[in-house]
């Protein structure tokens, strides 16, 4: 089944690279070493280094780092509001508000 909502050309790898670059930039702007960020976040130094260099980290690790850098509110707002590109999609979103389960790919 094709991915829904993939309207841009950024791959998941490109997004991970951008996030890692942003984390490193924010860390350096605050004058923090990896060791200091590790102490603040609870994420081991090698994990931070691996993320900055190879863009790979667990979601929990990423959230801990972002929280330590002061981005708790931004994390809470991520995916908080529906995104739509057509009126038909907005109608579907509004119709499905409050649903507890999705439907399979055949619409049943």
Domain ranges in the chain?
A: 12-95
> What pLDDT was estimated at residue 81?
85
Measured between alpha carbons, how far is 46 from 38 in angstroms, rounded to an integer?
A: 9
For residue 92, pLDDT over 80 is answered with: yes
For residue 106, pLDDT over 70 is answered with: no
Residue 61 per-residue DSSP state: H
Most confident listed range (4-13, 63-72, 76-85, 87-96): 63-72
Q: 25-58: per-residue pLDDT in tens? A: 999 999 999 999 999 999 999 999 999 999 999 9
Q: 65-88: per-residue pLDDT in tens? A: 999 999 999 999 998 888 888 889
With residues binned 3-state (H G I as helix, E B as strand, rest as coil), the percentages for the chain, rounded to 5, are 55, 0, 45
Q: Architecture of 12-95 per CATH?
A: Orthogonal Bundle (1.10)
pLDDT tier for residue 107 given thresholds of 50, 70 and 90: low
Say which residue, 102 or 3, is predicted with more confidence: 102
């Amino acid at each position: 089944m094709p991915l829904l909502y993939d309207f841009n050309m950024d791959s998941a790898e490109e997004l991970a690279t951008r996030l890692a670059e942003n984390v490193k930039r924010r860390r350096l702007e605050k004058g923090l070493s990896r060791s200091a960020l590790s102490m603040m976040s609870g994420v081991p130094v090698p994990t931070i280094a691996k993320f900055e260099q190879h863009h790979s980290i667990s979601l929990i690790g990423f959230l801990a780092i972002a929280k330590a850098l002061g981005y708790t509110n931004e994390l809470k707002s991520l995916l908080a509001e529906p995104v739509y590109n057509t009126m038909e999609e907005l109608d579907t979103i509004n119709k499905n508000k409050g649903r507890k389960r999705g439907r399979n790919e055949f619409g049943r």
